[in-house]
Amino acid sequence: MKKRLITFAKNTLITTGFTLILLAGFALVVGGCAIYVKTIFEALLVNVCIQLSYLLTQKIETSYFILDAFIDITSIVIIALLFGKLFDWFISTPAWVLITISIMTYIACFLFQIVRVKDDIDFINEKLSQKRK
């Protein structure tokens, strides 16, 4: 349980950091010069909710990778848009920017996870070869 909580907190902080960097990047492109302090905490709350929804969508296991990814991305975008409306983000940030940030964060996490899975596979194969000796 403790390990799961630590992983949850770690993942939430990583995605929050990535989201804020992307947001700052977009702001820079359109000539923005600052991010509100409250935006940082709002982004953290959104990412907590996204991580919670990810725990739920992980329970849905289909035979198609594309469908799994579609379910994940749809839930992430819906949460981001709902909070966007709640926190009045659309006054300063268009919806397409929010959707792009959400999808880019998902892709970055997916690529990071591929690397982590590769490490796990190497570890398992190493253990299996040790077992055969």
Summarize as ranges the residues that interact with another protein (CB under 8 A). Answer: 58, 61, 65, 68, 110, 113-114, 117-118, 120-121, 123-125, 127-128, 131
Question: What Rg value do the Cα atoms of the chain yield, rounded?
Answer: 18
In whole angstroms, how close is the CB of 76 to another protein at the nearest point? 16
Compare residues 4 and 38 and give the one whose CB is closer to another protein: 4
Compare residues 5 and 29 and give the one whose CB is closer to another protein: 5
Length of the chain (residues): 133
In whole angstroms, how close is the CB of 87 to another protein at the nearest point? 32
In whole angstroms, how close is the CB of 3 to another protein at the nearest point? 10
Compare residues 34 and 130 and give the one whose CB is closer to another protein: 130
The token pair that represents 39 in the structure block: 């935006």
Q: How far is CA 130 from CA 117, 122, 127, in A?
A: 20, 12, 5
Q: How far is CA 59 from CA 27, 83, 102, 123, in A?
A: 36, 24, 21, 25
In whole angstroms, how close is the CB of 11 to another protein at the nearest point? 14
CB-based contact 20:43 (threshold 8 Å): yes
